[in-house]
Structure 1
Amino acid sequence: MVLTARMLTKGSHQLVEIWLATENGPVKLLSTPENATCFTGQADAAQVAAISRSHNLHTSLTPLPLTTFSHQPVTVIKCQQDKQLHILKRRCEEQQITLYEADIKTPDRFFMERFITSGLQYQGLSDNALGAIVNARVKPANYRCNLAVFSFDIECDEKGHLFSIGVDSAAIKVVLMIGEATETESLPFDIQWCTDETDVLRRFIQLVQHHDPDVLIGWNIKQFDLPVLNNAASRCGVPLALGRQQSDVEIKLFDDNRALVDVPGRAVIDGIEGLKTMTFQFDSFALDNVASELLGKNKLIDDPDKLGAIKHLFNHDKVALARYNFEDCVLVNEIASHVKLIDFLILRSELTGLRLGRPGGSVASFINLYLPKLHRAGYISPNRPADGGLASPGGYVMSSKPGLYRNVLVLDFKSLYPSIIRTFKIDPLGLIEGLKSTEQAIPGFKGAMFDRTKHFLPDIITNLWLQRDEAKRQQDKPRSQAIKILMNSFYGVLGSGGCPFYDPRLASSITLRGHEIMQQTAQWIKQLGYEVIYGDTDSTFVHITKTVDLAEARTIGKALEREINTRWQERIRQEFDLECELEIEFETHYERFFMPTIRGSEAGSKKRYAGLIRRDNETQLVFKGLENVRSDWTQLAKDFQQALYARIFNDKPVEDYVAAVIAGIKAGEFDDKLVYTKQLRKPLKEYTKTAPPHVKAARHADDMNTQAGKPLRYQRRTKIRYVMTTAGPQVVEYTSQPLDYDHYIDKQIRPIADSILPVIGLDFESLASQQLGLF
């Protein structure tokens, strides 16, 4: 399994260094000399050659039987080193000469052109002096082995001075702590007492080198832990040699606080990046919040001034700090195990060629899968649009019919956009070939025509689709999830100006076909005697106007599913002479369903609704886009909405409940639920034009910190927990004035009540006036 790959310069040439994980331990491969490659039009080849000679770049240019998407013949350019290609690219840009595929990194091209994703076979010569297989030749193989994983976490002060480093793995459980040895009771880990920062760093490096993990994992380790360690190592004069064969960590920092981290021979997995790649969503990606939601566990320090608490423990109770440090390492491992994060990333690597520690990568995945096939079909890739591309139409969203309903069915098209790509053969190559000969081509939108046989993407998706069906049968959730995310990313890639295959005709032929399918589906359902009250991208909401029980509703849903599928199969066969890959499914039956209006309007809202469903003989409330699922509303608002809707959906009176909530707020019974949470999206000083409440609270808090001689805590990208007081917003730990209860009633309770009470003939103003009159 490929763990890492990078370019190494050897004399005038460059090699690809590849680190593999095998069942017999790590293996280092060094390739034969590998050129940096790009293309140019044959009409520009002579000028490119002249530029190369004038800058002594040692390039070779060879005409090829390949063309651009505009059918212009091309010449391949090969440079001995990447840095030469970078110079050539800049000089050609100055002369307004186009180079194609010049931004494809050489290691990525090395693997993709050999159709290698994760597993490979190799041949070469063993060089003991280099500890590597040299002149390695590789080819793809299905291979997987177990990976050794180190979860680590650091504790430090606000200036990055280290206190401790914790490690949790199958091989070792330890905290390296600066300080003098202290007698301790039995602990689930060892404490190694260190003299200073230099000692901590050296011991950590020794542990990594001795136990030799394949994977380093942690929480925010790319943006925080490893940069802090790198700075500490530089300050202490200790090379941060965490890579295999004592190679140093390579870190590139950007102005927006991003960091690119490379540890040769070891995959670096950031837990936050990994969960986001798996499409997890949380109000906050702080470790304590994610651990609480996924594992039901809380961190050992629950103090608003966490840094202050950590510094206090370092000075007064280092064993307690060691427990906290080690617990963070354990939580990361438990979260990764719970969601099968590493399994997911291995599967993603096998499917796409993306390395384990790489975040996101939808465009890169598409290029890895598509580009080598395109070359073999006689074309090279276009370049990304310089202007970022034009926006393509989004998914279909129908104007809703607001109201409170009984018996609403939801019918979803299964993976609608991938199904459209498969059915209508939407594909970059198919578009170019279809426009050459339109007679038998499949019409798309905005002038697009697609070839019926010359294409790759529909077949790629079909293969993934079959793999996902098999994964579902085997209940292999990580594989199923990885494939689903990959398939669903293809539309976004084709509509993204960051993709070289971007073309508005491609994305529009997907989304506008989706609009057509959704509108026609709604029309058919209406013809069958049912009311369509809403439609969103791939979902159609159907109201059964007559009274039915649960069994009858499900029978109707299944009948609609069969009828719509039959109609689409017939229509696409008759109109396009194509096999229909569209499949609609009866997904959900809402016994009660509420679609609100847009605030201040009679029009129905979009992407906002709530409903009551029954699962395993138990009812469950579902909220979409309403206050209950939004992170910027208080817990009281969420609880109130949950309870109010539950009463209304179950036909229970609500007047006494609303009155009790208002009275409870005024009496201070809900103070612990009146906290707002909001993230600073940029440094505090950059909020100049406007100052939202959380910014005002942060400024007030740091004014207080300044007066108290404490470190400033709220200057950049910090989560602010604040309340509204009679003196304005204040952070929880610096609340000096009474809470503004009228604010919470007016801004948190009233909007929720106003959205639904009128549909049952009630008015919040009347209920509130009666209650407030008591005070």
Structure 2
Amino acid sequence: MEMLLLDADYMIINARPVLRLFGKSREGKTVCAFYENYLPYFYALNCDAKEITALPDVKECAVVRRKVIGAGEREMCKITLVTPAKTPELREQLRSKGADVFEADILFKYRFMADLNISGFDWLDVANGDHVATNSVRADVKLRAHDITRGKSEHADQLRYLAFDLECVADEGIPEARKDPIILISLVFSEPFKGRPSMVLGIRPGRGVDAFESEKEMLEEFINTINTYDPDILTGFNINNFDLPYILERMAKNGIKPVFGRCISKPVMVKKVGNRFKSAVPGRVFVDSYEIIKKDFSLQRYGLDFVAERLLKQKKDDVKKSEIAKLWKANDEGYARLVQYCLQDSVLALNLVLQLNLLEKYIALAKVSGTLLQDTIGSGETGRIENFLLREFNKEGFVLPSKGAKPDETGLIGGEVLEPLKGVHSSVAVLDFRSMYPSIIRSFNICPSTLTKDKENSIELPSGARFLRKEVQQGIVPRVLKELMEARQAVKAELKKTKDKQRVRQLNGKQWALKILANAFYGYFGYVNSRMFNLEIANAITSTGRKTILDTKKAVESIGYTVVYGDTDSVFVRIGGDDLNEIAAKAEAIVKHVGTTLPEGIELEFEKIFKRFLPLTKKRYVAWCFKRSADGWEESIESKGIETVRRDWCDLVGLTMSDIITILLKEADQKKAIDHFKKVTERLLRNEIPLQNLVITKTMTKPPKGYAGVQPHIELVKKIQARNPAEAPGIGDRIGYVIVKGTQLLSKRAEDPSYITEKGLQIDSSYYIENQLLPPLERIFAALGVSRNELLGNGKQMGLMDAISRKAETQVLEQAPLEQVTGLICQACSAYYAIPTLSGICRCGGQLLFSTTRGPARVAVVGKEPKPMAN
């Protein structure tokens, strides 16, 4: 029969390991295939085979010939054990006696999958499968697999999804699983369950709630629903770090065994790794859409409400964390709102996975790398590459080293980044090296298997490392890179012909997976924790890349063009002219010329045109970009290393930056950009900026007393608690605040926008200019040679207290108490200012004098220390 491989593990039966492969049949039935005739093994050098054979946990010790990287073919022991659990003990015992061990830390399931050349989400042909009578797993079909081979189909149809979300309530502060109960659990199904698209479990009766007498009964029904519906994919939003650990602890408190995977004897597990959790639901794939979205999408915020609105165009009726306890105790209408809120979280979590096709890329990556989907999503690229390389090196008779202590070597030198020429550049063609590092590896046969000291049969690279020529010995890594890159080109060619939407998604996922895997090899060899860390190889790759960039720059300049910037695998060439097609034609001619100077296998290609290009520093620029499309040219504003949106900025910063960048790039009007900045600051000083554009938002992640330092949003929470405890934000709420004028510390001057409006408080314009607008915009203008003083007028910005502190520079005609100062007035035109202008002078150029209750005068302000601003 055929089955789609979802998960794999093993169990011990009669002191022997039995592998279990969980999946789905073509007919949509759940399958568990048991594979018995496979035992764990590893290799060792410099050890006695007879002595090892006599050990009680060793099934067999055979003397075999295998290739060792850097040492050629050697005789060694292939040690087969009775059970995987005995491997670490024997490995360390042999090491202590001076043996070198190989592949002694490969997970048993991955050793098996590598030997059979199967991957997660492959279709498997399972031959001669007789029925297995067992209650140890949940599956429609349970069979003993005598032979397993990889099938050819790529479609993963008929998967069943379930999304869940929980709500819990605490008497005070953040809910803690050790003491605070779960009150609601929502479940949403990708296909109806007993005729229902969703359900909400709760411990209080209400409209749309399946109510239970106790939390224990509700949790038992949660388990029962999952096991009955039997989803392949269990998902939710931020469930890995919150919902699942919370549920498991509550189940432990209620004496419930958390068995809602497909293995009846194996509970669901959560393990804390660093600051996050790693979850395992046996036989199912556990997907946290929050974690995938954080990896795959660059957003200002990652709360579910913001994510859903940006990515799905679906709005969420949000409930503050501080409101949950109130709604839980509220009347039927209030409780119904909480129930709907809980349900909506599950609906949106499922929509994110299905409508955005979040898993398509990771399914393709699992199939290419040979890993299970769960590990592809939850682990880094090092594990994927090592699993892939294990197969490829084993095919050619090599054994890979076991991981040992971290090497002390450091000194990896990165790619070449050319110093950018200052100013705004027009008509710049961006020429990109196609897969530079993979191409270098292929062209120069760079591989651990070809690294040599042999001068006669090798190529020396700029770093001094030598690698055997291809005709002497083809490297394994160059070979597999060639296969990956050619496979990607074939997929892209098929993409151009395919009209079927589902097939397009699959092909897009596959070409992305092939690209990700191919591009990861350079970083892998330079990563100190990798199995095959080799600084000599990593530096050989980057040194060749640096030389290629510098040689390309010379070749471009030799035909009269200027390279205004270069970044690792691309060069930016100033061509001139206004016609995009003419610029592109000249760029293609440059590519052709440079191509004659490049090593075989390294290709330069024309990528796009920057109509205007403004570099700030290395790795940081903005550009007005044009790319070819089926309809001509598509334009966009492209930025690298420059944030136009940050979570600690108010909206005014992003809006102003976007406007100024557009003026500089599209209109090429530096004066207008400076004037625009000044107009924004003047509007700020006149309180003409909408208050919502000045709000800064931060999340309260713990109780106020848990914060060691003084932070604006926490100080505001304390104020709200004092004014109206019922309205105070709770743990997990986002706190929006605006900085107002006053003489207290900045953190004490954070205020709630509605309170500002109610009390008529004045905004601290100086704070927004100095701390919000200027830092990012000053960097942009500095690249144009515009100084801070020019931005601010004819001098530095002068706040009221700055002006007072400079009294010694002004002829003092009289003295006045601070409370008598009402503002400033122009000596020439009598214009009145509540606060100083940026330049410190009037718009007419006249000098500003302090205005007091006794009229305008040059004054020295004296008196008491200002009182703190009233709340």
Q: TM class, shorter-chain normalised?
A: 0.7 to 0.9
Tell me by how many angstroms 1:701 deviates.
6.1
Does 2:618 align with 1:594?
A: no
Give percent identity, aligned residues only.
24
Contact 2:458–2:466 (CA<8 Å) still a contact in 1? no
Contact 1:448–1:506 (CA<8 Å) still a contact in 2? no
Partner in structure 1 of residue 131 of structure 2: 126
Does 2:455 align with 1:424?
A: no
Partner in structure 2 of residue 187 of structure 1: none
> Matched residues in 2 for 1:427 and 1:584: separation?
23
Structure 2: unaligned runs, 5 residues or longer: 136-140, 170-174, 496-503, 798-836, 843-847, 849-871
Worse-superposed segment, 346-355 or 332-341: 332-341
Does 2:268 align with 1:268?
A: no
Where 1:384 maps in the other structure, the secondary structure is coil
Of 236, 241, 258, which residue of structure 2 is paired with 1:218? 236
Partner in structure 1 of residue 276 of structure 2: 258
The one-letter amino acid paired with 1:765 is L
- Cα deviation digits, residues 425-444 of structure 1 (max 9, x gap): 2222233xx55x55333334
The structure number with the bigger radius of gyration is 2
> Matched residues in 1 for 2:697 and 2:50: separation?
61
Please show how residues 603-618 of structure 1 align to structure 2 within 5 Å.
Answer: 605-614=617-626
Report the CA distance shift for 1:254/1:562 in structure 2 as closer, same or farther (over 3 A). same
Partner in structure 2 of residue 342 of structure 1: 359
> Matched residues in 2 for 1:45 and 1:697: separation?
69
Report the CA distance shift for 1:57/1:680 in structure 2 as closer, same or farther (over 3 A). farther
> Matched residues in 1 for 2:698 and 2:479: separation?
44
Where 1:403 maps in the other structure, the secondary structure is coil
Tell me by how many angstroms 1:248 deviates.
4.5
Tell me by how many angstroms 1:697 deviates.
3.8
Tell me by how many angstroms 1:224 deviates.
1.8
Tell me by how many angstroms 1:364 deviates.
2.1
Report the CA distance shift for 1:618/1:213 in structure 2 as closer, same or farther (over 3 A). closer
> Matched residues in 2 for 1:627 and 1:342: separation?
28
Of 743, 767, 778, which residue of structure 2 is paired with 1:754? 778
Does 2:353 align with 1:353?
A: no
Tell me by how many angstroms 1:623 deviates.
1.9
Contact 2:161–2:233 (CA<8 Å) still a contact in 1? yes
> Matched residues in 2 for 1:559 and 1:684: separation?
64
Contact 1:22–1:145 (CA<8 Å) still a contact in 2? no
The one-letter amino acid paired with 1:75 is C
> Matched residues in 1 for 2:25 and 2:405: separation?
43
Partner in structure 1 of residue 26 of structure 2: 23
Where 1:254 maps in the other structure, the secondary structure is strand
Does 2:390 align with 1:374?
A: no
Of 139, 163, 183, which residue of structure 1 is paired with 2:149? 139
Worse-superposed segment, 749-758 or 72-81: 749-758
Partner in structure 1 of residue 638 of structure 2: 622
Partner in structure 1 of residue 86 of structure 2: 84
> Matched residues in 1 for 2:51 and 2:721: separation?
62
Tell me by how many angstroms 1:35 deviates.
2.5
Structure 1: unaligned runs, 5 residues or longer: 184-189, 573-579, 597-604
> Matched residues in 1 for 2:651 and 2:645: separation?
10
> Matched residues in 2 for 1:686 and 1:204: separation?
34
- Cα deviation digits, residues 398-437 of structure 1 (max 9, x gap): 1111211211111111221122222222222233xx55x5
> Matched residues in 1 for 2:516 and 2:536: separation?
23
Partner in structure 1 of residue 555 of structure 2: 524
Where 1:357 maps in the other structure, the secondary structure is helix
> Matched residues in 2 for 1:567 and 1:229: separation?
63
> Matched residues in 1 for 2:62 and 2:100: separation?
16
Tell me by how many angstroms 1:42 deviates.
3.1
The one-letter amino acid paired with 2:774 is R
Please show how residues 721-736 of structure 1 align to structure 2 within 5 Å.
Answer: 724=739, 727-729=745-747
Tell me by how many angstroms 1:648 deviates.
2.6
Contact 2:184–2:203 (CA<8 Å) still a contact in 1? no
Partner in structure 2 of residue 175 of structure 1: 199
Please show how residues 264-303 of structure 1 align to structure 2 within 5 Å.
Answer: 264-275=282-293, 279-301=296-318
Partner in structure 1 of residue 183 of structure 2: 163
Report the CA distance shift for 1:288/1:216 in structure 2 as closer, same or farther (over 3 A). same
Contact 2:47–2:94 (CA<8 Å) still a contact in 1? no
- Cα deviation digits, residues 305-348 of structure 1 (max 9, x gap): x3212333333223222222222222223222343222222211
Of 108, 112, 115, which residue of structure 2 is paired with 1:113? 115
Please show how residues 269-668 of structure 1 align to structure 2 within 5 Å.
Answer: 269-275=287-293, 279-301=296-318, 306-316=320-330, 317-358=334-375, 359-384=378-403, 386-388=405-407, 389-431=409-451, 434-435=452-453, 438-444=455-461, 445-452=463-470, 453-473=473-493, 474=495, 475=504, 476-544=507-575, 546-568=576-598, 572=599, 580-596=600-616, 605-614=617-626, 619-649=635-665, 650-652=667-669, 653-668=672-687
Contact 1:627–1:633 (CA<8 Å) still a contact in 2? no
- Cα deviation digits, residues 241-275 of structure 1 (max 9, x gap): 21125455332422634222221211111213334
Partner in structure 2 of residue 764 of structure 1: 791
Tell me by how many angstroms 1:522 deviates.
1.0
Residues matched between the structures, number: 733
Tell me by how many angstroms 1:106 deviates.
0.4
Of 104, 107, 118, which residue of structure 1 is paired with 2:106? 104
Worse-superposed segment, 4-13 or 91-100: 91-100
The one-letter amino acid paired with 1:520 is D
Worse-superposed segment, 752-761 or 502-511: 752-761
Of 730, 741, 752, which residue of structure 1 is paired with 2:765? 741
The one-letter amino acid paired with 2:778 is D
The one-letter amino acid paired with 1:145 is A
Contact 1:722–1:729 (CA<8 Å) still a contact in 2? no
Of 236, 239, 256, which residue of structure 1 is paired with 2:257? 239
Partner in structure 1 of residue 857 of structure 2: none
Contact 2:321–2:733 (CA<8 Å) still a contact in 1? no
Per residue, is there more helix in 1 or in 2?
1
- Cα deviation digits, residues 40-87 of structure 1 (max 9, x gap): 21346577668xx4xx53453322111432425321222212221122
> Matched residues in 2 for 1:710 and 1:97: separation?
69
> Matched residues in 1 for 2:398 and 2:706: separation?
47
> Matched residues in 2 for 1:11 and 1:566: separation?
67
Report the CA distance shift for 1:753/1:227 in structure 2 as closer, same or farther (over 3 A). closer
Report the CA distance shift for 1:391/1:252 in structure 2 as closer, same or farther (over 3 A). farther
Tell me by how many angstroms 1:760 deviates.
7.6
- Cα deviation digits, residues 130-155 of structure 1 (max 9, x gap): 56222543222223431111122222
Report the CA distance shift for 1:722/1:535 in structure 2 as closer, same or farther (over 3 A). farther
Worse-superposed segment, 40-49 or 479-488: 40-49
Tell me by how many angstroms 1:749 deviates.
2.1
Worse-superposed segment, 640-649 or 722-731: 722-731
Tell me by how many angstroms 1:592 deviates.
1.5
Where 2:104 maps in the other structure, the secondary structure is coil
Report the CA distance shift for 1:159/1:469 in structure 2 as closer, same or farther (over 3 A). same
Contact 1:253–1:259 (CA<8 Å) still a contact in 2? yes
The one-letter amino acid paired with 2:651 is Q
> Matched residues in 1 for 2:38 and 2:14: separation?
13
The one-letter amino acid paired with 2:771 is K
Report the CA distance shift for 1:408/1:135 in structure 2 as closer, same or farther (over 3 A). closer
The one-letter amino acid paired with 1:313 is L
Report the CA distance shift for 1:119/1:60 in structure 2 as closer, same or farther (over 3 A). same
> Matched residues in 2 for 1:287 and 1:81: separation?
45
Does 2:28 align with 1:2?
A: no
Of 225, 238, 242, which residue of structure 2 is paired with 1:207? 225
Tell me by how many angstroms 1:655 deviates.
4.8
Contact 2:792–2:839 (CA<8 Å) still a contact in 1? no
Tell me by how many angstroms 1:722 deviates.
5.7
Report the CA distance shift for 1:309/1:7 in structure 2 as closer, same or farther (over 3 A). same
